[in-house]
């Protein structure tokens, strides 16, 4: 009995760090700006069958309609109310999506924008996704309701009222981030209002939250509203399940705010991950893949069980937020697949795969002047995600998560779940290989010459299908075959000019 009690306590204390994915699924995908109806379809037709654990959805609450520039993606980070009513759909459509995804074991995580409301200079009126009236000038948001009492104006010590110095923790939390009206989260009324919004989503069936701009809220204030959250809906989650929490905190070092300040509330986004991995795979600054041998805490990242990791996100794939020029995105497809493949094969952190839309990138003086462009749309209505005969997406949806190399590495991560990193090999340069116990093995060639090596895979003898160049279908491989001998060794040959210069095999892709 005592053991059971201990286990239950253990589970509770790890609860907010646990994504609570079903059936050993080990990653989530950010379906950025997708409509609720399309996400429901994707859960049923693609994400569940291919072992994705969940979806991060764009903010579902009512936001300001910005017309200059015309309907930018970032208008969804300017709340007007907590009504579930946005360009992705209505509350009914949101409810239907959550039910359909939960019913096939794909969790829904909501992007919660609760540090602020809309920009201070947005015009008053009813230009909002649900028609609610609001007046930023007088801090009046009757559809919540919030009034002047609920904002930080009096507390911020800078003359502009904006964050001016990221080395002053008080400014970072109590002043406006880019003119966004900053909520007074020390007030119980504000904490309770936010908790009510999140509890409404929990009652619908969501599994957890990405907390936007966490860096700009005091950890204690966040804990105050997080402690007010209900357990997850028992229609889909075990009794006593706590919502999964991951906090957006950009900490590349050198600032007053540290990721570790937020560890008590849940996981934290590790922005060093994508910035460093991009540098290594681009072979900038003398970095090389052989240095990935101690990837993770060895690179001064946060503890693995606190980290939410990703190669790129919706901000830094277009120059917003942090990560800089080294960030790899779908625009750099060949290197990007290697980076995402490495992330999904390596045991560090809990990974989020980015799924983007294409926009008309146009650089002037090194800056993409179209970084604001919103999702594919017809006169403001977000376009459907159409699926082509070759399973790729149409209507300018990139669907990286449907790229064979990425989809198969999501499956690889599920197959090797729980297995430690083994059999590391490298050539001292940019050819590396490693296994995950006796379940999977991966080899990369990022040098400018061929890789021809006989390596210890740790896998049982047999013929394996490479899941990067193809799939196992029926009892054949559509791509490269790898023959593992009784000694666990196999010969790998990867030409540096290969379309995808990496090979991955696992026990569920064995003939």
Distance, in Å, from the CA atom of 102 to the CA atom of 104, rounded to the nearest integer, reads 5
81 binds Ca ion (CB under 5 A): no
**Closest separation between CB of residue 147 and Ca ion, Å?**
17
Question: Which stretch in 43-51, 114-122, 192-200, 347-355 sits in contact with Ca ion by CB under 5 A?
Answer: 114-122
Q: Which of 212, 312, 371, 400 is catalytic?
A: 212
Residue 207 or 213: the one with the smaller Cβ distance to ligand QV4 is: 213
Size of the residue set binding ligand QV4 (CB under 6 A): 21
Structure tokens belonging to residue 463: 């013929």
Q: Are 124 and 136 in contact (CB under 8 A)?
A: yes
Which residue is at the shortest CB distance from Ca ion? 216
182 binds Ca ion (CB under 5 A): yes
Of 197, 59, 62, 32, the residue nearest 129 (C-alpha): 62
Residue 125 or 238: the one with the smaller Cβ distance to ligand QV4 is: 125
120 binds ligand QV4 (CB under 6 A): yes
Give the residue, chosen from 20, 25, 35, 216, that forms a contact with Ca ion under the rule CB under 5 A: 216
Residue 87 or 216: the one with the smaller Cβ distance to Ca ion is: 216
Q: Are 341 and 406 in contact (CB under 8 A)?
A: yes
179 binds ligand QV4 (CB under 6 A): yes
121 binds ligand QV4 (CB under 6 A): yes
176 binds Ca ion (CB under 5 A): no
182 binds, among Ca ion, ligand QV4, none (CB under 5 to 8 A by kind): Ca ion
Which residues neighbour 52 within 8 Å (Cβ) at sequence distance 6 or greater?
25, 27, 28, 29, 46, 106, 353, 401, 410
**Closest separation between CB of residue 413 and ligand QV4, Å?**
25
Task: Return the residues of window 235-294 that contact ligand QV4 according to CB under 6 A.
Answer: 248, 250
85 binds ligand QV4 (CB under 6 A): no
Task: Measure the CA dihedral 199/205/209/212, to 10°.
Answer: -70
115 binds Ca ion (CB under 5 A): yes
162 binds ligand QV4 (CB under 6 A): yes
Whether 248 sits among the annotated catalytic residues: the reply is: yes
Size of the residue set binding Ca ion (CB under 5 A): 4
The 10 Å CB-count burial string (b at 16+, else e) for 414-440 is bbbeebebbbebbbeebbbbbbbbbbb
Of 312, 238, 236, 239, the residue nearest 276 (C-alpha): 312
Burial of 489 (0-12, 13-18, 19+ CB in 10 A): middle
**Closest separation between CB of residue 480 and ligand QV4, Å?**
39
150 binds, among ligand QV4, Ca ion, none (CB under 5 to 8 A by kind): none
**Closest separation between CB of residue 105 and ligand QV4, Å?**
27
Centre a 10 Å sphere on the Cβ of residue 178 and count the other Cβ atoms it contains: 12
For 286-437, strand residue ranges (E) read 307-309, 350-355, 363-364, 367-368, 377-378, 381-382, 421-426, 431-436
Q: Which residues pair with 393 in a beta bridge?
A: 387
Whether 212 sits among the annotated catalytic residues: the reply is: yes
Distance, in Å, from the CA atom of 374 to the CA atom of 198, rounded to the nearest integer, reads 26
What does the binding site for Ca ion look like in residue numbers (CB under 5 A)? 115, 173, 182, 216
What does the binding site for ligand QV4 look like in residue numbers (CB under 6 A)? 74, 77-78, 113, 119-121, 162, 177-180, 212-213, 215, 248, 250, 315, 320-322
């Amino acid at each position: 009995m005592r053991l059971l009690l201990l286990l239950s306590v253990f589970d509770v204390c790890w609860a907010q760090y646990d994504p609570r994915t079903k059936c050993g699924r080990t990653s989530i995908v950010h379906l950025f700006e997708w409509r609720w109806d399309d996400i429901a379809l994707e859960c049923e037709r693609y994400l569940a069958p291919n072992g994705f654990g969940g979806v991060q959805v764009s903010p579902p609450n009512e936001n300001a309609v910005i017309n200059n520039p015309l309907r930018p993606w970032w208008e969804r980070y300017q709340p007007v109310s907590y009504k579930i009513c946005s360009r992705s759909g209505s509350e009914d459509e949101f409810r239907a999506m959550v039910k359909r995804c939960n019913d096939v074991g794909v969790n829904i995580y909501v992007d919660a924008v609760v540090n602020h409301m809309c920009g201070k200079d947005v015009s008053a009126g009813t230009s909002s996704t649900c028609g609610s009236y609001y007046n930023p000038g007088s801090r009046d948001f009757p559809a919540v309701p919030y009034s002047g009492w609920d904002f930080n104006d009096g507390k911020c010590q800078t003359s502009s009222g904006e964050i001016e110095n990221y080395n002053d923790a008080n400014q970072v939390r109590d002043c406006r981030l880019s003119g966004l009206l900053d909520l007074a989260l020390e007030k119980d009324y504000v904490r309770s209002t936010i908790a009510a919004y999140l509890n409404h989503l929990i009652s619908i069936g969501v599994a957890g939250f990405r907390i936007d701009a966490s860096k700009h809220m005091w950890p204690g204030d966040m804990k105050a509203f997080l402690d007010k959250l209900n357990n997850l809906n028992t229609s889909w989650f075990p009794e006593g399940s706590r919502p999964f929490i991951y906090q957006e905190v950009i900490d590349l070092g050198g600032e007053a705010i540290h990721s570790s300040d937020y560890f008590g509330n849940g996981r934290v986004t590790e922005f060093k991950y994508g910035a460093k991995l991009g540098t290594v795979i681009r072979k900038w600054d003398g970095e090389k893949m052989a240095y990935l041998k101690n990837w993770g805490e060895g690179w001064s990242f946060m503890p693995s069980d606190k980290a939410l990791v990703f190669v790129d996100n919706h901000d830094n794939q277009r120059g917003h937020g942090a990560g800089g020029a080294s960030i790899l995105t779908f625009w750099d497809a060949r290197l990007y697949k290697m980076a995402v493949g490495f992330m999904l094969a390596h045991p560090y952190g809990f990974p989020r795969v980015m799924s983007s839309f294409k926009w008309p990138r146009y650089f002037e003086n090194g800056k993409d002047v179209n970084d604001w462009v919103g999702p594919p749309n017809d006169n403001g209505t977000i376009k459907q995600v159409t699926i082509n005969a070759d399973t790729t997406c149409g209507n300018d949806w990139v669907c990286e998560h449907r790229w064979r190399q990425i989809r198969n590495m999501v499956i690889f991560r599920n197959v090797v779940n729980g297995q430690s990193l083994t059999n590391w090999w490298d050539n001292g340069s940019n050819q590396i290989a490693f296994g995950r116990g006796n379940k999977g093995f991966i080899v990369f060639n990022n040098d400018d010459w061929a890789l021809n090596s006989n390596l210890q895979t740790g896998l049982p003898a047999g013929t394996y299908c490479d899941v990067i160049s193809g799939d196992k279908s029926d009892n054949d491989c559509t791509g490269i075959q790898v023959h593992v001998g009784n000694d666990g060794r196999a010969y790998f040959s990867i030409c540096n000019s290969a379309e995808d210069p990496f090979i991955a095999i696992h026990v569920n892709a064995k003939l």
